[in-house]
Amino acid sequence: MKMNLYSSVSFIFFTLIALQCLSLTIQQATESCSSTLPLNDLTFNSSLLQCLEAWTSQNYILRYARTLENTWSFILSAPDSSVFIGIGFSTNGQMVGSSAIVGWLPPDGLGQAKQYFLGGQSPSEVMPDQGDLVIVNGSLKIESVSSRLYMSFQLTAEKPRQSLLYAKGPAGFFPFSPGFRLREHQAMTTTTINYNTGSQSVVKGSPYSKLRKTHGLMNMIGWGILIIIGAIVARHMKQWEPTWFYSHIAIQITGFLLGLTGIICGLVLENRTNANNVSTHKALGITILVMGGLQVLALLARPDKESKYRIYWNWYHHNLGRAMIILAISNIFYGIHLAKAGSSWNIGYGSAVGVLALAAIGVEIRKFLNNITLF
């Protein structure tokens, strides 16, 4: 009984100590503008710094001030969660075309910070040691204090760009020599800051980002997925008469309508953004739309099975459908490239096409084996 009491008291005691340590760790990792800046070796007067909660969901704190004529000092702090942190300066609120400062501190190495030019949304287009920010020599550094990263730097500018981007890298990844390439970030947010008042507003995204995503998704699902599924149904499900026929028609018409919606969104997007590099993408899209329309019309002119023209109709309908599917898949990947949507879109749609291709190959092999068995 005494032993049990002793064990219980010991357990409670050590639990309270653990909770106290955990509370202290969380408190150290969390910071606000009212917190004292725990840096002592700054080359400028930290009392001049204005402070704002730059990215509240990630506890990013930005301190800044014009400490000299045409010299602006910045300190970005964030929880040290084994990721790289970044701040970008944009002319239009968009990532592409911006210059950013990214820093990281591996557990077993020295902290590093570099300027990057964000030429696109894929890692290969994010170039280290490039960009148009004029960084004061020797001012760029990063350190970890009380479970937080502090990245400080100074810029030479009459006034820095007001559209700021903040990014958080993937867990456990740190850029390494010689390329210092970045992987895609876990999350990102964009704000607009007034350097005089310290006020900021969160940018929800470009005014046409939803229209661009709708254009891509409608075309992807319509032309690039449903039309393929409909073709598989027509080729391999004919033993279920007439279910396969009505399923085929329903799937293809749904795909056609979604694809038509996607193309209309694309035409509106082109008109509103004055895009000048989409002529090939647009021409392929219209060609696919015409081919899809011809396929729908072909259903209305479908000869009876006994008709001598049925063989020609089959040849036309099947081969036009195959050509349309090939063009649609190619144009979707081309559209992802033009939009610089990043590898996640390529991987997502590529995986969907891969699954459909494996399914088609599987049922084709089964059909071939069944024909051999019959003979």
* pLDDT digits 0-9 by tens, 313-368: 999 999 999 999 999 999 999 998 888 676 778 889 999 999 999 998 998 888 88
pLDDT, tens only, 100-135:
999 999 987 788 999 999 988 778 889 999 999 999
Minimum mean pLDDT range among 36-45, 106-115, 245-254: 36-45
Residue 337 known to bind ligand:
no
Q: d(Cα 258, Cα 255) in Å, to the nearest integer?
A: 5
Q: What proportions of the chain, in percent to the nearest 5, are helix, strand and coil?
A: 50, 20, 30
Task: State mean pLDDT over 72-85.
Answer: 94
Residue 185 known to bind ligand:
no
Residue 125 has a pLDDT of 87
Name the band, by pLDDT with cuts 50, 70 and 90, for residue 258: very high
Name the band, by pLDDT with cuts 50, 70 and 90, for residue 205: low
Q: What percent of the chain has pLDDT over 70?
A: 88
Whole-model pTM: value is 0.55
pLDDT, tens only, 143-177:
999 889 999 999 999 999 999 999 999 888 999 88
- Per-residue pLDDT for 285 more than 80? yes
Residue 248 known to bind ligand:
yes
* 97 Cβ contact list (under 8 Å, min separation 6): 90, 91, 118, 119
Q: Are 82 and 171 in contact (CB under 8 A)?
A: yes
Residue owning tokens 């005494």: 2
What mean pLDDT is reported for the chain? 85
Task: State mean pLDDT over 188-195.
Answer: 89
More confident residue, 375 or 70: 70
- In this structure, is the dihedral angle defined by the CA atoms of residues 92, 95, 100 and 103, taken in order, positive or negative? positive
If you compute the radius of gyration of the chain from its CA atoms, what whole number of angstroms results? Answer: 29
Residue 236 known to bind ligand:
no
- Per-residue pLDDT for 19 more than 90? no
Give, in degrees to the nearest 5, the angle at Cα 259 between 258 and 264. Answer: 100
Residue 274 has a pLDDT of 66
Residue 375 has a pLDDT of 54
Beta bridge mates, 142: 151
Nearest in space to 83 (alpha carbons), one of 106, 115, 111: 106
Task: State mean pLDDT over 234-253.
Answer: 90
Q: What percent of the chain has pLDDT over 90?
A: 51
